[in-house]
Amino acid sequence: MQSLVRGDPDVDAICRLTQPANIDRLAFVDNKQVAFDRGCYVPANTQATLWLNRPLFYLLYVPCTVSFRFCDILKMYVAQRCLWQHDLRLCYTSPLVHQKRNEHDLLQDFDSEHSMHMQVLKLIDALEPVQLQGTVDDLSTIYQQLIDVGIVQQQEMQPLTEWVRLCKHHLGVTSAKKRCLANVVLILVFNFSACLDNLPLLTRIYAQHFKQVVVYADLPARFDWPNVHFLPLREGYVTQRVFVDFCDRYGDLLAQSDGVMYAMDDCIIQPTTFANFDLDGIVMSSVHTEGPLNSHSGWNWDRPWGKQAIARMFKEHSMPADFVWCGGFSDYFYVPREAFCDQLIQFWRHCADSGVFLEIAIPTGLLWVAAQQLLSARQLHDTEQLVLWDEQRRPLATKDFVVAALRRYAVVHPIKFAEMPERKQWLLEAVGMQ
């Protein structure tokens, strides 16, 4: 979305040189928006623009082998051509900002804009025939075409190639098309390695829905499970250590995936339900009250793995005084690939090293990265998840209750097979695999 500008509007040097007395008289109507249809190219630039679709942020690339006052205009012509591939449009809106312009040498501005005026029709002719796929690689296709017709220089491909690589890595984009669970990696964690005997059943259920299932378990290691990664998880108290190790081992797999799902072995997730959620945002369990650390008490906050562990982390690593902490059930989550970023993993690494409880470290990290990257964070509540504790778990001993719950909810916890092996058959029946 391109905003018009009040005050000293953003017009070119020709307008300023030929109509100096009229610049201050320009006025715009309030509360109007105009979207330009496919095939209608309009100039836009970098200032006062609002980008609403994160997977398309790769279109923010500004070319560097044209003049300074042409580069952002060229960027937006390229962006419009790519937007149409996704059935999206550029929109102009009534002014959202007021500009006080600094002094310019108008003749220098005109000289910098001259190539733009002389090549704009050639540019449109070059953009029209290119075959696009709706991916970040479309940038390379377009700029190669612009090199061929002499609008940009061959040297453009070096920074552009690096930009495309970084977009794939940090935005998790190869395409702005809808993410799918089939391209999501599932991290399955066993707090007790003795429960790995249930792995074949869970793999049978999950493998058909996910790109790959990566399995971790707490120590002691079991050598009869060579494809399982064993880490000191302290019976799940520092499960966040898994995600650090995963990024170290599976960086290439992560870069080629849409996102990461995580679940404990006794926390049964329903993939067909998750597939209908917005996979561009985070999906997690609901959390307790959010706020600065000194606003929390009781629960696990006053245990050695709560505020005491966080205090140890503060001694080693600087944290903002008003950093928002929260706690809650943390036996599953979904995170889009770009949010599973270095900053989040580093935070979880510090939490694990200091012994911070997973039910503090995981939700705090997820909501922090969601705020940093302006992502939605869908917190599942009782209507979408069934999480039972203590005496509430009595109904889990009956087949009808378990089967109905597994069919109704996106998440059911806990389904423990060791205490009732017949639950394995109930699970298969619930997912239609018996």
Rounded to whole angstroms, how far apart are CA atoms 373 and 187?
A: 23
Averaged pLDDT for residues 216-238: 95
Question: Which tokens sit at 160?
Answer: 């552009």
| Banded pLDDT at 86 (limits 50, 70, 90) | confident
User: In this model, does residue 175 exceed pLDDT 60?
Assistant: no
Find the radius of gyration of the CA atoms of the chain.
Answer: 27
The full length of the chain comes to: 434
Averaged pLDDT for residues 85-109: 85
User: In this model, does residue 396 exceed pLDDT 80?
Assistant: yes
Residue 216 near residue 229 (C-beta atoms within 8 A): yes
Quote the pLDDT of residue 177: 57
Percent of the chain with pLDDT over 70: 98
Quote the pLDDT of residue 134: 82
Averaged pLDDT for residues 374-390: 90
Domain ranges, ordered by start, for the chain: 2-171, 181-430
Please give the full DSSP string across 342-366, using - where no structure is assigned: HHHHHHHHHHHHHT--HHHHHHHHH
Please give the full DSSP string across 4-21, using - where no structure is assigned: EEEES----HHHHHH-GG
| Banded pLDDT at 318 (limits 50, 70, 90) | confident
Residues 121-165: tens digit of each pLDDT: 999 999 999 988 888 989 999 999 999 999 999 999 999 989 988
**Residue, of 159 and 112, whose pLDDT is higher:** 159
**pTM (2 d.p.):** 0.64
Quote the pLDDT of residue 108: 85
| 3 state DSSP class of 427 | helix
User: In this model, does residue 176 exceed pLDDT 60?
Assistant: no
Question: Which tokens sit at 110?
Answer: 């005109």
Averaged pLDDT for residues 283-290: 91
**Residue, of 171 and 44, whose pLDDT is higher:** 44
In angstroms, the Cα distances linking 128 to 38, 104, 139, 405 are 11, 34, 14, 54
Question: Which tokens sit at 226?
Answer: 């060579």
**Residue, of 131 and 21, whose pLDDT is higher:** 131
Averaged pLDDT for residues 216-235: 95
Quote the pLDDT of residue 391: 93
Percent of the chain with pLDDT over 90: 64
Rounded to whole angstroms, how far apart are CA atoms 434 and 422?
A: 13
Residues 180-216: tens digit of each pLDDT: 899 999 999 999 999 999 999 999 999 999 999 999 9
Whether omega for the bond prior to residue 220 falls within 30 degrees of 0, making it cis, is yes
- The architecture of the domain spanning 181-430 is Alpha-Beta Complex (3.90)
User: In this model, does residue 178 exceed pLDDT 60?
Assistant: yes
Averaged pLDDT for residues 159-173: 83
- Across 64-73, 82-91, 100-109, 210-219, the highest mean pLDDT is recorded for 210-219
